[in-house]
Amino acid sequence: MGVRTSPTERQRRLGAELKRMRLSADVSAETAAGLLHVDRSRLSQMEQGYRGISIDRLRTLACNCECTDEAYVKALSAMAEPNQRGWWDRYRGSLPAGLLDIAELEAHSPHLRTALAVHIPGLLQTFDHALAIFGVAVPQLPDRELAMRLEFRIERQQVLEGATPARYTGIVHEAALRMQFGGTQVAKAQLEHLLRMSEQDNIAILAIPFSAGAFPGSGQTLTYAEGPVPQLDTVQVDSTHGPEYLHGEAQLAKYRAHLDWMEKITLSPQRTRDLIHSIAQEL
């Protein structure tokens, strides 16, 4: 396996889990390298995601680190499978790698939980709503990149469709529902789209009304992507310079608590639909 120049977030995460496994067992880098029949520099590259690891070597490391959680090892083995490519790879080199990492994260998560205070979740946006959002990017996007980002955002939404769609819980503040990005007609069409999407069995849209008051992490846009096992959960937080990924145990616990708190103050799915319908009727 050659050296990668730009590992994906999924590849970096696998490397981080290898290092975590080794350190948890108090196995030195020298010892681990010897067990895998590689030098220390190659082990370091594996732990940073710059090199892949074979499944045989991964299981050798797990065995010698006394990792007996077979579900966890199996999930890591799936991440180590070579030549994994997804639909998002068509955009590699054309769009920022961070955007591709979001699509890959979503594609491997059985349950996505998002919370937004100002925007409609990307997976639930209409084309025209997304166009209004991308149209105010700073600096302004060239026409070709704008078109690609729109196409990419809409294509991401396939994760909510098909034979085995991801379960999706979208927490949306009333402020986001009342924003008129693109004008009243675009806003109304967006709300009607939310109503249709909320009827799918795998999708729950929950609104936080203005009357709910304060809540943790007010204003922060985040996605909590559950992994095949809890150890591989990931939090993705939006920022102006691109997505950030968090997977420390304390960080995961903190954001789970945030989302749990927020869900407690949301309206029920039916009352959320009633609120969305009411706002749409006002437009």
Q: What is the CATH number of the domain that holds 16?
A: 1.10.260.40
Residues 161 and 73 in one domain: no
Domain match, 24 and 163 both: no
**Digit-coded pLDDT (tens) for 69-99:** 999 999 999 999 987 789 999 999 999 999 9
User: Do 194 and 65 have their domain in common?
Assistant: no
Task: Examine the domain organization and report whether 220 and 131 are in the same domain.
Answer: yes
Q: Which of 61, 80, 99 finishes a domain?
A: 80
**Co-location of 126 and 143 in the same domain:** yes
1 assigned to some structural domain: no
Q: Is residue 4 part of a domain?
A: no
Structure-token pair, residue 185: 């007609």
Q: Are residues 71 and 207 in the same domain?
A: no
Same domain, 243 and 141: yes
Between CA 103 and CA 5 the distance in angstroms is: 20
Quick one: what percent of the chain has pLDDT higher than 70?
99
DSSP secondary structure code for residue 225 in this structure: E
**Tokens 């869900």, residue located:** 263
Reported as a single tens digit per residue, the pLDDT across 112-145 is: 999 998 999 999 999 999 999 999 988 999 999 9
Query: Is the CA virtual torsion 135, 138, 140, 142 positive or negative?
Result: negative
Q: So what's the pLDDT on residue 83?
A: 78
Residue 240 pLDDT grade (very low, low, confident, very high; cuts 50, 70, 90): confident
* In a shared domain, residues 47 and 161: no
The CATH number given to whatever domain includes residue 133 is 3.30.870
Cβ neighbours of residue 111 closer than 8 Å, sequence gap 6 or more: 166, 167, 168, 169, 225, 226
- Give domain status of residue 179, yes or no: yes
Burial 126-143 (b: 16+ CB within 10 A, else e): bebbbbbbbeeeeeebee
C-alpha to C-alpha distances, 158 to 161, 164, 275, nearest whole angstrom: 5, 11, 26
Q: Which two tokens stand for residue 258?
A: 């945030």
Looking at the domain assignment, is residue 41 inside a domain? Answer: yes
Give the Cα separation of 155 and 152 in Å (integer): 5
The domain in which residue 251 lies consists of 87-282
3, part of any domain: no
Provide the pLDDT confidence category of residue 1 given band limits of 50, 70 and 90: low
Domain boundary among 80, 106, 135: 80
Q: Is beta strand 167-173 parallel, antiparallel or unpaired with respect to 111-116?
A: parallel
* Residue 16 within a domain: yes
Distances (CA, A) of 204 to 7, 83, 149, 162, 272: 33, 34, 26, 17, 10
* CA–CA dist 220, 176 (Å, integer): 12
Interval 38-57 mean pLDDT: 96
The last residue of one of the domains, among 42, 65, 80, is 80
The verdict on 36 and 124 lying in the same domain is no
15 and 129, same domain (yes or no): no
Domain count of the fold of the chain: 2
Residue 32 lies in a domain: yes
16 and 116, same domain (yes or no): no
- Tell me, yes or no, whether 175 lies in a domain: yes
- Do residues 243 and 128 both lie within one domain? yes
| Residue 218: predicted pLDDT | 67
Residue 239 has pLDDT above 90, yes or no: no
| Pairing label, strands 222-225, 203-208 | unpaired
Tell me the two tokens of residue 85: 């490519």
What is the pTM assigned to this prediction?
Answer: 0.94
Reported as a pLDDT band with limits 50, 70 and 90, residue 219 is confident
Residue 173 in contact with residue 116, Cβ under 8 Å? yes
